[in-house]
């Protein structure tokens, strides 16, 4: 009898939402963080990243006032190594790995923002 098994490389990802909270326009730079949870086959090298063409601007939910607020996402600390440019590289363990993602809105971007709610959707991809 021959017993056979093929284990294929695979990865799955889920991510927390990032909430910068509520701030006044003179509060200075604001930061937030979230985690991406990646599970890849043991020994599989992977990179978590974003679409390099994404504009990283939150849009106002007020359709009459299409204002935007720019922000950055980074891999090591707020305002640090760009997630879009470099991504996060790791090697799968077969277990879920929590990868931190840091966000920053500069004091200038906050100062220029009109009052209101702002949102953006970022697609994260895992390449392996």
What is the domain-level CATH number for residue 26?
2.60.40
* Residue 4 domain flag: no
* Residue 41 domain flag: yes
* Residue 17 domain flag: yes
Is the pLDDT score of 79 beyond 90? no
* Residue 47 domain flag: yes
* Residue 27 domain flag: yes
Element (H, E) at 85: helix 83-86
Full-prediction pTM beyond 0.85?
Answer: yes
Phi, psi of 110 (to 5 degrees): -70, -40
**For position 63, what pLDDT does the model report?**
65
Question: How far apart, in whole angstroms, are the C-alpha atoms of residue 46 and residue 54?
Answer: 21
* Residue 5 domain flag: no
The proportion of the chain whose per-residue pLDDT surpasses 70, expressed as a percent, equals 98
Range of the structural domain that residue 24 is part of: 11-121
* Residue 46 domain flag: yes
Per-residue pLDDT of 27-65, as tens digits, reads 999 999 999 999 999 999 999 999 888 899 999 987 666
Biggest alpha carbon–alpha carbon distance for the chain: 73
Please, what is the end-to-end C-alpha distance for the chain in angstroms? 34
* Residue 111 domain flag: yes
User: How many domains does one find in the chain?
Assistant: 1
The burial of 48, by beta-carbon neighbours within 10 Å (0-12 exposed, 13-18 middle, 19 or more buried), is given as buried
């Amino acid at each position: 009898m021959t017993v056979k098994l093929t284990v294929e490389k695979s990865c799955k990802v889920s991510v927390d939402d990032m909430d910068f909270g509520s701030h006044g326009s003179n509060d200075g730079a604001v930061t937030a963080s979230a985690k991406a949870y990646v599970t890849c086959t043991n020994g599989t090298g992977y990179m978590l990243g974003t679409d390099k063409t994404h504009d990283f601007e939150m849009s106002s939910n007020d359709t009459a006032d299409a204002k935007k607020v720019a922000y950055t996402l980074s891999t090591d600390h707020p305002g640090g190594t760009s997630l879009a440019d470099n991504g996060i590289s790791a090697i799968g363990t077969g277990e879920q790995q929590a990868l931190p993602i840091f966000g920053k809105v500069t004091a200038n971007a906050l100062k220029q923002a009109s009052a209101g709610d702002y949102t953006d959707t970022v697609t994260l991809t895992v390449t392996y």
